[in-house]
Amino acid sequence: MNVQKNRMNLAIQGALILTVAGLVIKILSAAYRVPFQNIVGDIGFYIYQQVYPFYGMSVILATSGFPVVISKVMTEYGYGKSMQIRSKIMTIIFFYLLVIGFFLSICLYIFSDEIARFMGDLHLTKLIQVSAISFLIVPLVSTYRGYYQSEQNMNPTAVSQVVEQGIRVSFILVSSYFMIKAGYNLYEVGFGTLAGSIIGSIAALVMLAITWRKEHRGMFRWNISAPIQTRKILLSLVKSSWTIGLSSLMLIFIQLIDALNLYSLLVDGGMGKVLAKETKGIYDRGQPLIQLGTVVATSLALSLVPVIASAKVQNNFVFIHEKLNLSLKLCIVVAAGASSGLIAIIKPTNVMLFTNTSGSMVLMVLSISILFTSLCLTMFAILQGLGYAFFPALSVIVGVGIKYGLNTWLIPIYGVIGAAISTVVSYGIVVLITILYMVIKGYSFKGNKSLVKISLAIVIMVSLLTIFLKAAGLVFDLEHRLYASIASLSGVLIGGCIYGWAILKLKVFTHDELQNIPIVKKLVK
């Protein structure tokens, strides 16, 4: 009993370590795009964002997809077993991932020309080809991380993730700056930044290999003769990799749909190619804003998920419902506040980050996605923690299909606003069907009264922010970057304080709930 309890505590501590690392790399992943866009402009940003989803898939699979799958399979079939059996499991896992990595890499490389043609820009071919290399690194990095995670040793995984993202971001910003200064064209700059991204992945692999060697691990003695069925391991791998892998790729899939058809639909609708590239680049300004808002909203809510998963093992359903409701309520409070607050200050924020107000209306619509994506990610994590991994993957397929269909319908009519609407609607539908599924499984949200209070807090915050910006606009030119920056940062501070005050004053959270929220718990004390 003590062994199981200690293992559970290690799992919770490990999950918190990975949560912190995930928070750091997600902030870096979103934040670097702002200076990068400032360096390369809207067309340069368009070029990078067209190809980024392919590289992004490899990063997500090697970070939060395959390592989780490996950890799950190793825990299920290898925990407490002999070194011989564990070696066979790792051997099967490695060759399974190797086949997937090579298959994805070769397909992406061979069909790069067709993909670029479908996108409507053949200049992207070489960039897609270089991004194909990243999938060759995925099997090695994932195997190291997955094994460490199965041993509840999250430090190598967390450090390698931060190293990878730090080197990648640094290389992208430095190389793009000097390549622009040297007179390279924007497609060449895009090629250089993607090559730099792959250097980050290689650095993570080298770091993990060095760590492994220092610890003299013996797990990589190839073994296929141990007394455990290969078929059983492979079936578990296929099932877990498709369910966990797909659900972890939701955000990147939505970006991929826009990369595949937004530019070409704009051009087919009569827009000039240069203007269409600029328009797509402006639309892509929404990605770092959505990412940052989602990171803030999910970081606290997801920290409760390991506790829910542990309670599921102990069949403590009262505790599960209590923490599930707190997790969802916390997600809604932070995500709704971030989404509505960003909408209120979007124009000066656009100027502060991207130098002008172009596409502010599009960014307003996209800002709504913060609420829906945060809810999706939180509910997916809860369902996986409760043992329901299939439905999140299915709902991602549904959402991506809806996104593609709505893009082809709305963009020819409404232009880039249509793409923003299709993004919000597709996320919204995923949220709706996931909520229905949770209700069917007996895990309904009990905080409907809180939703009215949260709405009132949002109205108070947005009203006061609107008055503040109107007054500031009478005194300062908010299209000047310095004044826009002051107004935006002041708006964040004022809006955050007002919203936080309203949430506490309206008693959205009980005192006991506040005591169970990480960070907030310390503030309450």
What's the mean per-residue pLDDT of the chain?
84
Identify which has the larger pLDDT, 155 or 303. 155
User: What is the 8-class DSSP label of residue 124?
Assistant: G
Report if pTM > 0.85: yes
For residue range 335-380, what is the model confidence (pLDDT) as tens digits?
999 999 999 999 999 999 998 888 899 999 999 999 999 999 888 8
Identify which has the larger pLDDT, 20 or 484. 484
For residue range 52-104, what is the model confidence (pLDDT) as tens digits?
999 989 888 888 788 888 877 877 776 666 667 777 788 888 888 999 999 99
The residue whose two tokens read 């606003």 is: 417
In the chain, domain spans: 1-248, 275-387+445-525
Using CA atoms, how far apart are residues 127 and 203, in angstroms rounded to an integer?
21
For residue range 268-302, what is the model confidence (pLDDT) as tens digits?
988 899 999 999 999 999 888 888 878 776 766 66
Q: What's the confidence (pLDDT) of residue 236?
A: 83
* Number of residues that make up the chain: 525
Residue 175, token pair as written in the block: 């190389």
512 Cβ contact list (under 8 Å, min separation 6)? none
CA 343 and chain centroid, separation: 21
Using CA atoms, how far apart are residues 72 and 93, in angstroms rounded to an integer?
12
Identify which has the larger pLDDT, 163 or 420. 420
User: What is the 8-class DSSP label of residue 184?
Assistant: -
Q: Which long-range contacts (CB under 8 A, 24 or more apart) does 308-314 make?
A: 308/382, 308/385, 308/386, 309/11, 309/385, 309/386, 310/8, 310/11, 310/12, 312/385, 312/386, 312/387, 313/8
For residue range 148-194, what is the model confidence (pLDDT) as tens digits?
877 777 778 788 888 888 888 899 999 999 999 998 999 999 999 98
